[in-house]
Structure 1
Amino acid sequence: MKYSLLFLAAFANVAASAAEPPYTFIEGKVPEDVQPDGNSIVFEGPNEILVIDTGRHPEHTDKIIAIAKARKKPITAIINTHWHLDHATGNARIRSAYPGAKLYTSTAVEGALKGFLIRNVEKAKARLEDPSLPEARKADTRLYLNAINDPANLIPDQPVKGTMSVKLGERELKLHLAKYAATEGDVWVHDPASKTVFVGDLVVVPLPFFDTGCAEGWRQVLAEIDRVDFQTLVPGHGLPMDHATFSSYRSAFDAFTACAESSQPTASCVATWIQKGAPFVAMHPDPKYSEPALAYYVDQVLRVPAKRAEYCGKPNETTR
């Protein structure tokens, strides 16, 4: 994956300020031919291990399990930042190895399992019968079907309904809930001791993914995060960044969504992110990826009243 010099400099600043962070960062891959994995974090406590997000593919999740086995400590807690399956499919694999692992996440996944997550079930089943579909795509389809047919490994044991704490030895992680943002029920985590925040898909490189996003609530939580005393932010996709780089991302996000909510042409809104979010756009290996993706989100999500209503929890809204 291509990284801009500016972004690499920001990452170097993060590395210099926290040469030995109290966690292991496992980068989620975003290959061209299969579905992505989200980033994962492994925290080691005195006698146990806590994981933030578990990825999609076995190859990703097995890296988490390998750390636990090498440390000879059980995984006792999983935090899912949200219900997208590139961050939560690995729950089942981890709990198969460590059945005592408790799941902390929002209860919004229960609604997603009755709505968004099951909308493509019949298409998925048809794909498995398509002889022309590559085996890698079929494997992704099986992972999807297996995950939604195993709700016990997606629904929380410990629902996150607001701010709460999780102890890991002497370390206390603060869990926060954004009701409607990148999804319904985003959980972001603050580790005051290391001055790090883990935000899932509230921050995504090269651009925010609005497939289930509520721009209004999303802006609010980014502003809330910006007020936190932190040095390092770990996004849902992409490399960790320092506070200043996050603030730049937030500024680009605010400008892009404000444009999308106005009567300006779609092309103007796309240009806003391309200009203000240039360091993040440069991180994607395909220079042609960002513009059509941004245009799609403006026209097919952010300017569609029914989708704004659904994703912002306003079912009675029918007009702009």
Structure 2
Amino acid sequence: MKSSLLFLTAFAYAAVSAAEPPYTFIEGKVPEDVQPDGNSIVFEGPKEILVIDTGRHPEHTDKIIAVAKARNKPITAIINTHWHLDHATGNARIRSAYPGAKLHASTAVEEALQGFLIRNVEKAKARLEDPSVPEPRKADTRLYLNAINDPANLVPDQPVKGAMSINVGDRKLQLHLAKYAATEGDVWVHDPASKTVFVGDLVVVPLPFFDTGCAEGWRQALAEIDKVDFQTLVPGHGLPMDHAAFSNYRSAFDAFTACAGSSQPTASCVAIWMQKGAAFVAMHPDPKYSEAALAYYVDQVLRIPAKRAEYCGNPNEAAR
């Protein structure tokens, strides 16, 4: 596309092809005072627009809509890589502007709407009534409540239950489903023509977010991605990277999660990511953030049997 919005010509971790990609990359921001937005991708076809992930805040989603308006083409399809609301809240805003947009996603969101996504409803309502809570945090709370009270814009009308494809003009995007990885069902997208993969939160910088993750299934998902012939990988958060950088990420992930599954001290596991994933840690301004988050995930998620039981489902399925 000739006038890409927020298009990056230089990638963060390694040099990649200088050729302009056939999509618009809209970077999700991670400010300190509000919840983040995930990255979004906009593909333009001859008569239509396809979007991968829609962000959380109106300011982010409006950038997606601006591309469609500038091209004078409707958004006809949305792909959600997973149900986390920083990637899916914008669905409603886009479908309000383009009611014909079909939503492609895994059905994992249906269970999340009965469990993880509704656990904090009462706390959220209390925040809205608390005069000491800053307005930006209240605005995020309203977005959360509005999203979970509007399941029609989160539950797919085109479920991704396995490998499938979707066309954008003559371009065929290949959709894959990773079970029990960053969530119960993560969709990742391969564009063979540009040798690009879009993987959502299966890759996150500066470190993987395990809040709803299953280490076993996630390792398998990264192994499957590594087999694909691609040159560029677009993560759920952070800037695009080349295949070699992704392989380094996978190596750090495997070593970190293996440590977390052992009896080694938490500090040893944290040190593994801080060393092997140093290039990714460096993308955050405060290394102490990564250290604290990694320690939390080891102690409060990865080593808690109840968490593994909840997020890994059938162990045999997660290990496939």
**TM-score, with length taken from structure 1:** 0.94
Aligned-partner Cα distance in 2 for 1:196–1:98 = 27
Matched residue SS, 1:175: strand
Asked if 2 retains the 8 angstrom alpha-carbon contact of 1:52 and 1:81, the reply is yes
Matched residue SS, 1:257: helix
Asked if 1 retains the 8 angstrom alpha-carbon contact of 2:13 and 2:242, the reply is no
Matched, 1:8 2:12: yes
Using the TM superposition, give the Cα deviation of residue 7 of structure 1 relative to its aligned residue in structure 2, in angstroms.
Answer: 7.0
Aligned-partner Cα distance in 2 for 1:91–1:299 = 34
Q: In the TM superposition, what are the counterparts of 1:267-306 in structure 2 within 5 Å?
A: 267-306=267-306
Q: Which residue of 1 aligns with 2:140?
A: 140
Aligned-partner Cα distance in 2 for 1:219–1:249 = 11
Asked if 1 retains the 8 angstrom alpha-carbon contact of 2:11 and 2:240, the reply is no
Q: In the TM superposition, what are the counterparts of 1:1-320 in structure 2 within 5 Å?
A: 8=12, 10=14, 13-14=15-16, 17-314=17-314
- Between the aligned residues of both structures, percent identity stands at 90
Aligned-partner Cα distance in 1 for 2:19–2:146 = 39
Asked if 1 retains the 8 angstrom alpha-carbon contact of 2:210 and 2:301, the reply is yes
Asked if 1 retains the 8 angstrom alpha-carbon contact of 2:46 and 2:169, the reply is yes
Residue type at the aligned position of 1:32: E
Using the TM superposition, give the Cα deviation of residue 308 of structure 1 relative to its aligned residue in structure 2, in angstroms.
Answer: 0.5
Using the TM superposition, give the Cα deviation of residue 187 of structure 1 relative to its aligned residue in structure 2, in angstroms.
Answer: 0.2
Give the alignment's Cα RMSD to 1 decimal: 1.3
Q: Deviations over 1:156-188 (max 9, x none)?
A: 010000000001110000000001100010000
Aligned-partner Cα distance in 2 for 1:7–1:93 = 29
How many residues are treated as equivalent by the alignment?
307
Asked if 2 retains the 8 angstrom alpha-carbon contact of 1:29 and 1:36, the reply is yes
**TM-score, with length taken from structure 2:** 0.94
Asked if 2 retains the 8 angstrom alpha-carbon contact of 1:91 and 1:153, the reply is yes
Asked if 2 retains the 8 angstrom alpha-carbon contact of 1:7 and 1:279, the reply is no
Pair 293,153 (structure 1): closer, same or farther in 2 beyond 3 Å: same
Asked if 1 retains the 8 angstrom alpha-carbon contact of 2:12 and 2:240, the reply is no
Matched residue SS, 1:289: helix
Aligned-partner Cα distance in 1 for 2:33–2:287 = 17
Using the TM superposition, give the Cα deviation of residue 288 of structure 1 relative to its aligned residue in structure 2, in angstroms.
Answer: 1.3
Stretches of structure 2 that go unaligned for 5 or more consecutive residues are 1-9, 316-320
Aligned-partner Cα distance in 2 for 1:104–1:285 = 35
Residue type at the aligned position of 1:56: R
Aligned-partner Cα distance in 1 for 2:229–2:211 = 30
Stretches of structure 1 that go unaligned for 5 or more consecutive residues are 1-5, 316-320
Residue type at the aligned position of 1:291: E
Using the TM superposition, give the Cα deviation of residue 20 of structure 1 relative to its aligned residue in structure 2, in angstroms.
Answer: 1.1
4+ runs of 1 displaced by more than 2 Å? 6-9
Matched residue SS, 2:12: helix
Asked if 2 retains the 8 angstrom alpha-carbon contact of 1:80 and 1:87, the reply is yes
Asked if 2 retains the 8 angstrom alpha-carbon contact of 1:7 and 1:280, the reply is no
Asked if 2 retains the 8 angstrom alpha-carbon contact of 1:211 and 1:301, the reply is yes
Aligned-partner Cα distance in 2 for 1:9–1:232 = 11
Residue type at the aligned position of 1:252: A
Q: Deviations over 1:225-264 (max 9, x none)?
A: 0000000000000000000000000000000000000110
Matched residue SS, 1:124: helix
Using the TM superposition, give the Cα deviation of residue 19 of structure 1 relative to its aligned residue in structure 2, in angstroms.
Answer: 2.5
Matched residue SS, 1:288: helix
Asked if 1 retains the 8 angstrom alpha-carbon contact of 2:37 and 2:60, the reply is yes
Aligned-partner Cα distance in 2 for 1:203–1:99 = 31
Residue type at the aligned position of 1:74: P
Q: Deviations over 1:176-228 (max 9, x none)?
A: 00011000100000000000000000000000000000000000010000000
Using the TM superposition, give the Cα deviation of residue 314 of structure 1 relative to its aligned residue in structure 2, in angstroms.
Answer: 3.6
Aligned-partner Cα distance in 2 for 1:173–1:8 = 25
Pair 151,304 (structure 1): closer, same or farther in 2 beyond 3 Å: same
Asked if 2 retains the 8 angstrom alpha-carbon contact of 1:39 and 1:53, the reply is yes
Residue type at the aligned position of 2:63: K
